[in-house]
């Protein structure tokens, strides 16, 4: 059975991208309070041009900024059980889910996409922090397993961009079980000899850091991101003293040997392209039979952009350039 066609057939979704109608033409930087014109904000990949503060990115923007020409194809994720515990606190979990779905336009806190980076085929899984704090429940675990499966089937590296407060409490013990499940996903990619790169973004904490997010062959952290296991308040309550300057920030993790590098957002794509190139094309260029050319080759499964599918993606069989796996 062909998993790609029968299980998570990549759908060319006419993306209902929340067409940015800026409510405000001016944004205030949460760090330095200076005003930023919305066009400058977009141009600078949501990094404050005054102080360099890296604002959180939704997965659509994240994927568009990483893939060649901002083109990629999202993968329809397997269905996961909804509200397995029938959880309710002051509010029902199903209602919280519906709210988050309406707000983000996503089914859950993860998006998995396939596309090219400098011509190289890559699978990227990006988290949506707006969706219940990017928390990890069964659906996110399924997303990670699907991303790994897709990477193995397409013989493509896997890049994961977490932004998550940790486990999703409302799924109780099943959310905790996503830790081993996502570790298995990573293991499958590694066993296939494929690179697995993690890009830690603000914030990545709790059960997410204590599983797939710390197991990258290469660990990259975006500047100034909060990354850690225990919450700062929990630690303060335990040790009863204030935390050191810059505690749990990317730069602090680098200093303590926990990540390979800290990058500015504008350098992220070039860094990934360089690293993936080194890990994938290991012999002199002359020996590489067909170095993919980003200008002439289109992604094999078609693609889409925030503006909707491009004409080329609908023409012909998207699988034609590759034998069925």
Q: Enumerate binding residues for Zn ion (CB under 5 A).
A: 29, 31-32, 48, 50-51, 53
What residue 175 binds from other proteins, Zn ion, none (CB within 5 to 8 A, per partner kind)? other proteins
Please pick, from the candidates 211, 226, 250, 313, the single residue that binds other proteins as defined by CB under 8 A. 211
Calculate the CA dihedral of residues 39, 40, 42, 45 and round it to 10 degrees: 180
Residue 24: left if φ>0, alpha if ψ -120 to 50, beta else—which one? beta
Please pick, from the candidates 55, 65, 210, 273, the single residue that binds other proteins as defined by CB under 8 A. 210
Residues 124-153 that bind other proteins (CB under 8 A): 138, 145
Q: Please list the alpha-helical segments (H only) found in the chain.
A: 3-6, 38-43, 59-66, 93-104, 138-154, 172-176, 178-191, 232-239, 250-255, 268-280, 311-314
Please pick, from the candidates 50, 247, 254, 267, the single residue that binds other proteins as defined by CB under 8 A. 247
Q: Give yes or no for a cis peptide into 203 (omega within 30° of 0).
A: yes
Which lies closer to Zn ion via its Cβ, residue 55 or residue 85?
55
Q: Beta-carbon neighbour count of residue 300 at 10 Å?
A: 18
Instruction: In angstroms, give the least distance from the CB of 224 to Zn ion.
Output: 11
Please pick, from the candidates 112, 159, 174, 263, the single residue that binds other proteins as defined by CB under 8 A. 174
- Residue 235 phi, psi (nearest 5): -65, -45
By CB under 8 A, residue 80 contacts other proteins: yes
Coil, strand, or helix at residue 123?
strand
Determine the Cα–Cα distance for residues 106 and 109; give it in Å rounded to an integer: 7
What mask, x for binding other proteins by CB under 8 A, covers residues 38 to 77? ----------------------------------------
* Interface region with other proteins, contact rule CB under 8 A, candidates 36-44, 69-77, 226-234, 293-301: 226-234
By CB under 8 A, residue 84 contacts other proteins: yes
Determine the Cα–Cα distance for residues 52 and 136; give it in Å rounded to an integer: 29
What residue 29 binds from Zn ion, other proteins, none (CB within 5 to 8 A, per partner kind)? Zn ion
By CB under 8 A, residue 315 contacts other proteins: no
Closest C-alpha among 279, 268, 310, 245 to residue 67:
268
Please pick, from the candidates 94, 230, 254, 273, the single residue that binds other proteins as defined by CB under 8 A. 230
By CB under 8 A, residue 249 contacts other proteins: no
Q: How far from 289 is each of 141, 206, 281, 292, CA to CA, in Å?
A: 37, 44, 11, 9
Q: With contact defined as beta carbons under 8 Å apart, do 97 and 128 qualify?
A: no
- Number of chain residues interacting with other proteins (CB under 8 A): 52
Please pick, from the candidates 106, 154, 201, 209, the single residue that binds other proteins as defined by CB under 8 A. 209
* Radius of gyration, CA atoms only, the chain: 20
Please pick, from the candidates 18, 22, 180, 246, the single residue that binds other proteins as defined by CB under 8 A. 180
By CB under 8 A, residue 177 contacts other proteins: yes
Q: How far apart are the first and last CA of the chain?
A: 10
By CB under 8 A, residue 245 contacts other proteins: no
Which residues are near other proteins by CB under 8 A? 79-81, 84-85, 87-90, 138, 145, 167, 169-177, 179-181, 183-184, 186-187, 206-207, 209-215, 228-231, 234-235, 238-239, 243-244, 247-248, 256-258
């Amino acid at each position: 059975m062909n998993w790609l066609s029968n299980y998570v057939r990549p759908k060319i979704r006419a993306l209902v991208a929340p067409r940015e109608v800026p409510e405000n033409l001016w944004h205030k930087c949460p760090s330095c309070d200076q005003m930023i014109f919305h066009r400058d904000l977009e141009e600078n990949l949501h990094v404050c041009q005054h102080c360099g503060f890296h604002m959180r990115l939704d997965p659509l923007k994240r994927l568009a900024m990483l893939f060649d020409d901002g083109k990629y194809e999202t993968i329809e994720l397997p269905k996961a059980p909804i509200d397995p515990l029938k959880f309710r606190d002051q509010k029902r979990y199903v209602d919280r889910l519906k709210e988050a779905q309406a707000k983000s336009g996503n089914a859950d806190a993860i998006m998995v996409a396939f596309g090219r980076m400098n011509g190289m085929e890559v699978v990227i899984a990006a988290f949506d922090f707006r969706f219940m704090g990017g928390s990890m429940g069964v659906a996110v675990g399924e997303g990670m397993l699907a991303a790994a499966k897709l990477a193995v089937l397409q013989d493509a590296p896997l890049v994961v961009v977490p932004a998550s407060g940790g486990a999703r409490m409302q799924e109780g013990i099943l959310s905790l079980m996503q830790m081993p499940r996502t570790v298995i996903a990573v293991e499958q990619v590694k066993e296939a000899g494929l690179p697995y790169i993690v890009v830690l973004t603000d914030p990545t904490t709790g059960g997410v850091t204590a599983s797939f997010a710390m197991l990258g062959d290469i660990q990259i952290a975006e500047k100034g991101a909060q990354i850690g296991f225990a919450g700062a308040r929990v630690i303060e309550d335990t040790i009863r003293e204030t935390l050191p300057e810059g505690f749990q920030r990317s730069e602090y993790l680098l200093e303590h040997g926990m990540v390979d590098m800290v990058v500015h957002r504008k350098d992220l794509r070039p860094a990934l392209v360089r690293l993936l190139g080194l890990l994938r094309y290991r012999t002199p260029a002359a020996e590489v039979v067909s170095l993919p050319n980003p200008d002439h080759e289109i992604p094999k499964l078609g693609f889409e952009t925030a503006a909707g599918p491009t004409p080329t993606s609908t023409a012909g069989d998207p699988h034609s350039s590759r034998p069925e796996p």
